[in-house]
Structure 1
Amino acid sequence: MGFILFFSIFTLIYGLMGWLVFSQVGWTLNLTGWPRLLLALVFIAMTLSPGLSGYAGERYGLYAMITYLWLGLIFYLFLGSILIVLFRTVHLAFVARIIGYLVLVCSVGLLTWGFFQARDIGVTKVEIVSGRMAPAAKPIKIAFVSDVHLYSVEGDSRLQRVLKVLNGLDYDILISGGDLIESGIHRNDWQLLAEEIKKLRPPLGKVAVRGNHEIYANMAAGEDISARFHKAAGFDLLNNRLLELPALSIVGMDDPHSREKPENGSRELDLLKKTSSQKPVLLIKHQPFVQEKTKGLFDLMLAGHTHGGQIWPFNYLVGVLFPYLRGDFDLGQGSRLFTSVGVGTWGPPVRVGTKPEVVLITLKPAS
């Protein structure tokens, strides 16, 4: 019922946006007769597509690609349509029509650029000094990936891009910050993707936490598909657990969307208090929410979830909900936070104003 309610509300809002776009595009192009009818049918079909594909759990392939590229296009056309309406309201029809053509060209241009931008994964390098490390200790290199969203629009091509970047890096441990998989993955040959990830064998292993989309995947599958996938991929999945390595302490917190509701201050605080003062401490959480009481108990918190807003100007809205939107933050008391914009996409397979990243962190002792 939750899925039906979500997609019903989404389709209603999306339909209203599409109606405004259809009316203004039709006016701009001066469409009448069968061309206008044909455009109307296209708008109706594409408005229903996200809800139908989402409810069916089929979110990848050519159909999904067209569906969600159209969603991205409608978003920008909607913003432009508001501008057209404003100029028409003050009886500047000529100016409004010029703006209409510019909106069409710019929207297609932004979508095209964002499509290729989403496929250009960069490497962001970060250095963190830990007072807990012995002066002569060897630096620890951490590869951090988040929000891959496997089987969101794309099949295995997204994973291949990520693996290409990871295989070109030198690191001691690989950490996944959640949303590695997408709901509906159980309908596909996910074992093949897991086997590809399993081939990555850094010296200190691979660690992961669950994001909200792992929870959704479990709900859609009717089983703990996230645990099965991470195990098959060779990850140690930390569900509110402390992992002690010879040179590193890692606390991994489950996403608050979990039905078990494990995300509470006392649980996180208790785990951090159990860590060694002689080793650097990592806190891994999918969402970048910081609890004041935990500051000073960890050297670095790694998070994702926000996608950095993914598509401009969503970054302004997401930034209100998540003040630690993206990048490196000094939290004080010797603790830092890095929020990754992630490597994948959700919804439209485009990025405008954000570039996907694998984060390479070097933990080193104070000089």
Structure 2
Amino acid sequence: MIVVVVLVALVAIALVAGAHYYIWRRLVRDTTTAGGTARRAGTAVIILLPVLTFAGVGVGRADTPFALKQILGWPAYMWLATLLYLLLALLVGEAVRPLLRRVLERRAATAGGTTTEPAPVEEPATVGAPAAPAAPADVPPAAPTTPDPSRRIFVSRVVGGAAAAAALATVGYGTANVLSGPGVKRVTVPLAKLPRAAHGYRIAVVSDIHLGPLLGKAHAQRIVDTINSTNPDLIAVVGDLVDGTVADLGPAAEPLAGLKARHGSYFVTGNHEYFGDAGEWVDHVRELGLHPLENARVEIDGFDLVGVNDIAGEEEGEGPDFAKALGGRDTARASVLMAHQPVVIHDAVKHGIDLQLSGHTHGGQMWPVNYIAQAANPTLAGLEQYGDTALYVTRGAGAWGPPVRVGAPSDITVVQLASRQA
């Protein structure tokens, strides 16, 4: 196991080093003159950035002061997001670079093109005058031209500057998406067993809030305000509430005490709760007025609300237990399952669940990472049907790692249950 961890760490370091070397070549070496102040300064920055990134990520995982995690976390994770889009933009620039160079070469050739000297007019021969010397038979070819260094630097600066501007604009847009808070989506899900009296029941589904060193109390308050504005009948918090301990993040979670719904707020654990002390957080959210469902269920008007622990809890003997959560249930009643990860949908189908509410995927969070997330999950985001079980996956209300979302805006979803008898 240790050997595998070391190999993975070495591969990660090699990839990060290679990425930064490529960026140094394109943004520093190719755009500056050797020995100049600009090149020395750019080289120092490129060396510092990966060191800062590893330090920020490492401190975030270690038992270090929370203030240090905040100080190092922002630059480390923001650079990770910028690195991704800078690499993508520079790779696109590789295709643009030769085209731009060719355009400049043609323009230079046109501006400084050769002119043809007029042919000399032969003078009539004069008697007794000496003959004009004959032109040499062989004229040596012109020396081959070498690429203009200033033109190469100009092309590199244009391409590099455009790539940097595109990356910064993308990351800025993605950060604004997170810090402005989640939007509201509305989805209607018909359930065959839902009685007419429960038709139109509204559940506000929120997941992946990820309170931590980067997203704190203000982030939680924005989410609470958005949820309350929908006036739901019930609130389902489906995991990954926090990235840290109650000691560090208890104050950030305080706004959750202000959640308001006719039938209360319910909570199940996500995989990130098990990075720390999940039991400690279960106790704390209970103090805030949320009702944890640890492999348990509760009867709501017209349906059973079921909650299972996240599969990450299996290592601690606290994984999902459908038999415990569903034992003795009246199967004629409709059932709504809260489960953090969509992958448990197959267990939900086997146990006759009508609707599963999940998160975990973030909708991919940052394009093109969504393709990886899509390959790892049965549903990336939205509503899909698996046999007789419907699965709804929210993109989540926060962000993990870089507080950046590109192509996957955060959301809180109001799921409205519909009775087919209505």
Does the TM-score normalized on the shorter chain lie above 0.5? yes
Cα deviation per residue 1:296-330 (whole Å; 9 max; x = unaligned)?
81221111111000001111111111130011112
Alignment match of 1:55 (pick from 61, 65, 68): 61
Please list the CA deviations of residues 2-60 of structure 1 after superposition, one character each: whole Å capped at 9, or x if unmatched: 9x978787555434433332332213432644323432343244233333322335486
Query: What's 2:26 paired with?
Result: 24
* Structure 1 counterpart of 2:234: 173
Q: Percent identity?
A: 25
String of CA shifts for 1:137-186, please: whole Å, max 9, x gaps. Answer: 45321011000001141221210110120121111111111000112x33
Separation (CA, whole Å) in 2 of partners of 1:90 and 1:261: 60
Partner of 2:339: 285
Secondary structure of residue in 2 paired with 1:276: coil
8 A Cα contact 2:178 2:405, kept in partner: yes
Letter in 2 for 1:127: T
Partner of 2:126: none
Gaps of 5+ in 2: 102-151
Q: Quote the Cα distance in structure 2 between the aligned partners of 1:341 and 1:15.
A: 32
Match among 202, 213, 222 for residue 261 of structure 2: 202
- Which residue of structure 2 aligns with residue 227 of structure 1? 282
Alpha-carbon deviation of 1:68?
1.2
Count of residues in Structure 1 that have an aligned counterpart in Structure 2? 357
CA spacing shift, 1:314–1:245, aligned 2, 3 Å? same
Match for 1:214 among 273, 283, 294? 273
Measured in 1, the distance between the counterparts of 2:50 and 2:194 equals 60
Separation in 2, partners of 1:8, 1:158 = 36
Compare CA radii of gyration and give the structure with the larger one.
2
- Alpha-carbon contact 1:143-1:361 (below 8 Å) kept: yes
| Runs (5+) with no aligned partner, structure 1 | none
Aligned to 1:80: 89
Greater relative CO (CA pairs within 8 A, separation 6+): 1
Which of 157, 161, 166 is the equivalent residue of 1:106? Answer: 166
User: Residue 305 in 1 paired to residue 360 in 2?
Assistant: yes
Supply the AA of the counterpart residue of 1:356: S
Q: CA RMSD in A?
A: 3.1
Give the distance between the partners of 1:325 and 1:30, measured in 2 at CA. Answer: 44
The worse-fitting range, judged by mean Cα deviation, of 226-235 and 338-347 is 226-235
Aligned equivalents of 1:363 and 1:281: distance in 2?
A: 11
* Mean CA deviation greater in 241-250 or 82-91: 82-91
Name the CA shift for 1:17/1:163 in 2 (closer, same or farther; >3 Å). Answer: same
Kindly tell me: are residues 35 and 193 of structure 1, through their superposed partners in 2, closer, same or farther at Cα, counting changes over 3 Å?
A: closer
Contact 2:211–2:253, Cα closer than 8 Å, also in 1: no
What does residue 132 of structure 1 align with? 193
Structure 1 counterpart of 2:316, from 224, 247, 260: 260
- Give the corresponding residue for 2:16: 14
Letter in structure 1 aligned against 2:373 = V
* Among 67, 73, 90, the residue aligned to 1:64: 73
Residues 294 and 117 of structure 1, relative CA distance in 2, 3 Å threshold = same
- Asked if structure 2 preserves the Cα contact closer than 8 Å seen for 1:295 and 1:331, the reply is no
For residues 172-209 of structure 1, give each alpha carbon's deviation from its aligned partner in whole angstroms, at most 9, with x where no partner exists: 111111000112x3342x33344421222422121111
Corresponding position of 1:141: 202
Q: Name the counterpart of 1:191.
A: 250
Instruction: Find the residue that maps to 2:416 and give its secondary structure.
Output: strand
Secondary structure at the aligned position of 1:291 is classed as helix
- Whole-angstrom CA distance in 2 between matches of 1:232 and 1:15: 46
